[in-house]
Amino acid sequence: MADQPGWGEGAPHASEDALIARLAELVPTSTDGLLLGIGDDAALIAPDLVWTVDTQVEGVHFDRTTSTPADVGWKALAVNLSDLAAMGAVPLAALVSVIVGEGDDAELEAIYTGLGACAARYDCAIAGGDIARGPGLALSISVLGRSSHPPGRGHARPGDVLAVTGTLGESAAGLAVLHDASLRDLPGADECVERHRRPHPRLDEGVLLAPHAHAMMDSSDGLATDLPRLARRSDVALVVDLDALPLHEDVRLIAETLRRTPGAFAATGGEDYELVVALPAAAVATCGVPLTVIGRVEAGPPGVRFTGAGADETLRGWDHLN
């Protein structure tokens, strides 16, 4: 062990994706039973069993001044369920690990009230968990789900179209409203804040889309960060038209008030928790889910090329380490 560095002797974290790739080299990442491992929204640990984990940390993912304890509980589960949705899965059960900081029992009960509301809404039992003391509040939730057609991110094909559910940018607009009082009177401001605080995972849509999807993921970090992951996993080039992104007119107004190009604002904002799917063009009309086509899959070096207004800007979504 003499060649192992000690604490604080290395370089700062580069990016989440680069760090995950390096860490993955240090652990066994495949066994006979593991069907999909690191690199998708969730692991596939049996032909139909999907398993994911996600952590929400005070001061990083939420803030006491902008979210209630119940909001934090809701969102901590909802973001995990969104990863199940990306795998076309229905939830089975969740384990909850809580790090408590300086807070009190009442606020933890409020967190669990929000967590329970989300669990009841999406029919996910809380099967157990763990509580430990730490320097600040954090919730880490692991969810198991079942999927009969888990698509993963790895099989997008040249000729597919790229499509999304719902609308993009509302969560980012809501976060902007929370941080800038001058935006609060704009139309739709309250709805955007609500969407930021309490995202709704697209579980029903995921189940319907999965049999048609060559690749699927949820948009959690913004398309500018998420789509390169799908492109690399599928070894394809993606062409995405920022002018085609489905934006509510209220989001356009909030983005323009912030002097941002609406499409670029929505592609970099993150926390939409919509599904992004690569599928044959003919399936868009027959899959049973309202979709907006935002681009196409091409052969070529893996990457994403944005077109439309804002495509000349540096587009960078959320990175969990920077």
Q: Which residues bind Mg ion (CB under 5 A)?
A: 41, 83, 218, 220
160 vs 221, beta carbon nearer Mg ion: 221
220 vs 234, beta carbon nearer Mg ion: 220
CA 195 to chain centre: 14
The amino acid that residue 304 corresponds to is V
Closest CA to 238 of 246, 230, 248: 230
Shortest CB 78 distance to Mg ion, Å: 12
Q: How many CB atoms lie within 10 A of CB 190?
A: 13
199 vs 295, beta carbon nearer Mg ion: 199
The residue nearest Mg ion at its CB is 41
Phi then psi dihedrals of residue 100, to 5 deg: -100, 140
Shortest CB 229 distance to Mg ion, Å: 9
35 vs 258, beta carbon nearer Mg ion: 35
Shortest CB 221 distance to Mg ion, Å: 8
Question: Which residue is associated with the tokens 């119940």?
Answer: 70
Shortest CB 83 distance to Mg ion, Å: 4
Shortest CB 42 distance to Mg ion, Å: 8
Are the C-beta atoms of 140 and 28 separated by less than 8 Å?
Answer: no
Cα(47)–Cα(146) distance, integer angstroms = 9
52 vs 67, beta carbon nearer Mg ion: 52
Write the CB contacts of 34 (distance below 8 Å, at least 6 apart in sequence). 43, 44, 45
